[in-house]
Amino acid sequence: MSTHSIRPELPELVPASAPGKAAEVLVVGTTAGGDGPELALADGVVDEAVLAELLDDLIAVGATGAAEETVRVPAPSGLSVASVVAVGLGDAQSLDADGIRRAAGAAARTLKGVGTAATTLSALDLGAAAEGFALGAYTFTAFRSAKTAPADDAAPVRTVELLVAAPKARETKATVARSTAIARAVATARELVNTPPNILSPAEFADRARQLGSDAGLKVEVLDEKALEKSGYGGIVGVGKGSSRPPRLVRLAYSGGKRGAASVALVGKGVTFDTGGISIKPAAGMENMTSDMGGAAAVVATVALAAELNLKVNVTATVPMAENMPSATAQRPGDVLTQYGGTTVEVINTDAEGRLILADAIVRACEDDPDYLIDTATLTGAQMVALGNRTPGVMGTDEFRDRVARISQGIGENGWPMPMPAEIRGDLSSKVADLANVTNNRWGGMLAAALFLKEFVADGVQWAHIDVAGPAYNTGGAWGYTGKGGTGVPVRTMISVLEDIAANG
């Protein structure tokens, strides 16, 4: 069993009516008005005279209210804190929950060395502000020695006071509890993705998933390489053959619904490191393939979160885990695999391995006769070519695809519905097997991968495939509540879809 801490530390989020004695900094929002920045503050927190002085100070140092702009000034004498951080919200007319979430995240990243901060962003949207502060403060330091570990004056903010009119109200407490749970789940997915691949082998990943599941009260099943071989999981076994660290399949089941409640299957790609296998990737940037289990990390975190939120829905996660390495035992281009369920696949490119392990998991998941199935994966470079680094592609059965994309856009992960053109399906034909794992051209690679997976989804199941090849891992600078490295996408999309299914079927 893994001894690594599964749950990363995040700031404590505390509803309050005014800054407490320990508060060192007040975080306020500014919007970009036609005549300069304007303050967006909770009524009663600051009196008019202090407001006017604060706004003058912000204008004097060049604040504009542009989205995610942060400006820090000494606090006017009427405030109990030492300083004020103003974070830009952009155009007031287009302000939405994710704009507040991003602003809170940007503010949190400036609060290094602060013990306690208070904020009025919570008066604009309590849940979004709470999530933004928690996720913006997340850092990954598990592998830093004393030489480079953050000193106290560079440590993330420890406590955030969320200023609201009714801090003790039941609704306030429920909102903060939900946002805390969601932020913790997203951070857990980030922590798994950020863990180096020499540590996070398939077996170690399975151990951590088992621990998360056990802590959440889930039913847990783990199949090792012998059980996978015996049961005919040809895709998972085939991908894992090249590694000295054998594959796993983890099943996590949450029964939250009464008889007749909707059932949802979640499947996530868990390739703990992807060299491409025999079809080896270029060396440049290969270190980022530590993120190739981002879909699995999100699924594991989401099913545990569903239990924590006590959703009235039944959720089962089926999570294949393997390492794709080149060796004397690795599968070759030209090999034919027999997937779980009997479909044969000609392996044209061993770097198209994610769909092979997902196919096994999807067939197994469909044996439970779910109403809905969501699979997510860092599946194709074509996703980034088509949609960039921040926009997941969503494919699947039309109605559910559009529902998932709409919900994803509403919560700020911005999934975009994509088609699966019938003419591409013919390019997946094989001369020797039922299917080839790639087409013979470079066009529509994200769509072709979804069409491949469609072959393994049982009839009648409402299905959505979320390709997060770019969005699951940020190789650039921090922005909003997203730091460098694992992002936790699409945890918030999946939990919001589960909440919607629990409420509406």
CB atoms within 10 A of CB 469: 27
Of the candidates 277, 281, 280, which has an alpha carbon nearest to the alpha carbon of residue 331? 277
Supply the pLDDT for residue 5: 60
Answer yes or no: are the C-beta atoms of 60 and 81 closer than 8 Å: no
Which residue carries 């770097």 as its tokens?
351
E strands, 18-68, where? 25-33, 36-40
Residues 253, 237: Cα–Cα separation, whole Å: 23
Task: Tell me if residue 63 falls in helix, strand or coil.
Answer: coil
Q: Write phi, then psi, for 370 (nearest 5 degrees).
A: -75, 155
Q: Write phi, then psi, for 264 (nearest 5 degrees).
A: -125, 130
Gyration radius from the chain CA atoms: 24
| DSSP 8-state secondary structure symbol assigned to residue 254 | E
Residues 481, 137: Cα–Cα separation, whole Å: 8
Answer yes or no: are the C-beta atoms of 87 and 121 closer than 8 Å: yes
Active site residues: 281, 355
Supply the pLDDT for residue 48: 77
Residues 438, 322: Cα–Cα separation, whole Å: 19
Residues 326, 346: Cα–Cα separation, whole Å: 18
Sign of CA dihedral 371, 502, 209, 475: positive
Residues 154, 138: Cα–Cα separation, whole Å: 13
Residues 249, 247: Cα–Cα separation, whole Å: 7
Count of CA atoms in the C-beta half-sphere (13 A) of 353: 36
Residues 38, 40: Cα–Cα separation, whole Å: 7
Write the Ramachandran bin of 277: left for phi over 0, alpha for psi from -120 to 50, otherwise beta: left
Q: Which residues of 5-38 are buried (b: 16+ CB within 10 A; e: fewer)?
A: ebebebbebbbbeebeeebbbbbbbbbbeeeebb
Across-strand partners of 117?
A: 25, 160
Which residue carries 């991908």 as its tokens?
239
Superfamily of structural domain 200-504: Zn peptidases (3.40.630.10)
- Burial (CB < 10 A; 0-12, 13-18, 19+), residue 221, is middle
Residues 50, 57: Cα–Cα separation, whole Å: 11
pLDDT by residue for the chain (505 residues), tens digit each?
444 567 788 999 999 999 999 999 999 999 998 888 999 975 666 777 888 899 999 999 999 999 999 999 999 998 999 999 999 999 999 999 999 999 999 999 999 999 999 999 999 999 999 999 999 999 998 898 888 888 877 899 999 999 999 999 999 999 999 999 999 999 999 999 999 999 999 999 999 999 999 999 999 999 999 999 999 999 999 999 999 999 999 999 999 977 889 999 999 999 999 999 999 999 999 999 999 999 999 999 999 999 999 999 999 999 999 999 999 999 999 999 999 999 999 999 999 999 999 999 999 999 999 999 999 999 999 999 999 999 999 999 999 999 999 999 999 999 999 999 999 999 999 999 999 999 999 999 999 999 999 999 999 999 999 999 999 999 999 999 999 999 999 999 999 999 999 999 9
Across-strand partners of 396?
A: 464
Write out the H or E segment, with its range, that includes residue 448: helix 445-454
E strands, 34-119, where? 36-40, 70-74, 83-88, 116-119
Range 12-183 classified under CATH 3.30.70.890: no
How is the chain split into domains, by residue range?
12-183, 200-504
CB atoms within 10 A of CB 151: 8
Supply the pLDDT for residue 1: 43
Of the candidates 356, 337, 372, 404, which has an alpha carbon nearest to the alpha carbon of residue 505? 372
